[in-house]
Amino acid sequence: MQTIVITGSTRGIGLGLAREFLRGGHNVVVTGRSQAAVDRALADLAGGDRVLGLTCDVRSMAAQQAVWDQAAAKFGRVDMWINNAAIATDRALLADLPVDQIEQTVATNLLGTLYGCKVAIAGMLKQPEGGKVYTFEGFGSDGIARPGLSTYGSTKRAIRYLTASLAKEYKDTKVLVGSLSPGIVATDLLLYSSKGDDPAAWEKAKRTLNILGDTVETVCPYLAREALAATKQGAMIAWLTPRKAAGRFLMSFFKKRDILSELEARPDLTVR
């Protein structure tokens, strides 16, 4: 049994990962920015004594340290820390973006991951068994650029560098640093960051998203299993590989997929 902390895990991929780790018999710590969100996640997971819910604004180093301290106090140690928390700006060109959206996205996605890595690595270096720290990739990690995603994509590009750098810094320790790359997953964040205000462009984008995308329920079991099994420093655990993507495009001529309709129908879309 391992203890796994997942930041930003009251919905989407984070919540899906929490559910998978609980199913595997592990202890899980879920975090969110509001107590209401944490309470909803705890009720959804129904994990009893094996799940701990904590409020945490990842933009605060002290808040993340408090999560580590409380997790270690309850479960004895932290074996895995997953830096999942992320937000996106409006789908707009940089000159049109409100400054507060830029600041919040950079602070959450990049500073939040830096703080989480710092807290987790420092704590795991003190544990005889070490541990694993994962960052989360997203659009922009591989250098692909798209109008309207400059801020979000820049944070994810930086996180790939951060992961590679930390893997080198701690290569001779018992702390493994790696990344999780879920690909295109039907979540609030995907819809918010992709849709924009151009209906025609959105209809075109949806065709690609439906070909390449998957649901939380499909992706999370793989990510959870591989995260537990990884032993290679700097490991990148990727669901949507180039080979899989090519196969999806080929099969799209014969089979139509739809992962977005149910998500689009939700009235409560928000990622900030």
Q: Is the pLDDT of residue 191 over 90?
A: no
Residue 77 covered by a domain: yes
pLDDT score for 270: 56
Q: 239-264 burial by CB neighbour count: b if 16+ within 10 A, else e?
A: bbeeeeeeebeeeeeeeeeebbeeee
Residue 247 covered by a domain: no
Q: Catalytic: which of 115, 152, 170, 192?
A: 152
- Give strand ranges (E) for the chain: 3-6, 27-32, 51-55, 80-82, 131-136, 175-181, 236-238
Summarize the confidence of residues 102-111 as an average pLDDT: 98
Q: Are 151 and 105 in contact (CB under 8 A)?
A: yes
pLDDT band at 209 (very low <50, low <70, confident <90, very high): confident
Residue 194 covered by a domain: no
Domain containing 23: what range? Answer: 3-184+216-239
One-letter amino acid for residue 240 of the chain: L
Residue 50 covered by a domain: yes
pLDDT band at 13 (very low <50, low <70, confident <90, very high): very high
Residue 189 covered by a domain: no
Task: Give the count of alpha carbons within 13 A of 68, CB side only.
Answer: 26
Provide the CATH number for the domain around residue 19.
Answer: 3.40.50.720
Residue 16 covered by a domain: yes
Calpha distance 244→252 (Å, rounded)? 12
Question: Vertex 195, ends 159 and 197: CA angle to 5°?
Answer: 125
Residue 249 covered by a domain: no
Residue 265 covered by a domain: no
Summarize the confidence of residues 65-76 as an average pLDDT: 98
pLDDT score for 203: 72
**For the chain, what is the total number of helices (H) and then of strands (E)?**
11, 7
170 in active site = no
Query: pTM for the complete prediction?
Result: 0.90
Q: How many domains does the chain have?
A: 1
pLDDT score for 267: 55
Instruction: Name 256's bridge partners.
Output: none
Q: Is the pLDDT of residue 80 over 70?
A: yes
Instruction: Name 5's bridge partners.
Output: 29, 81
Residue with tokens 């808040």: 63
Q: Is the pLDDT of residue 123 over 70?
A: yes
Q: Is the pLDDT of residue 220 over 60?
A: yes
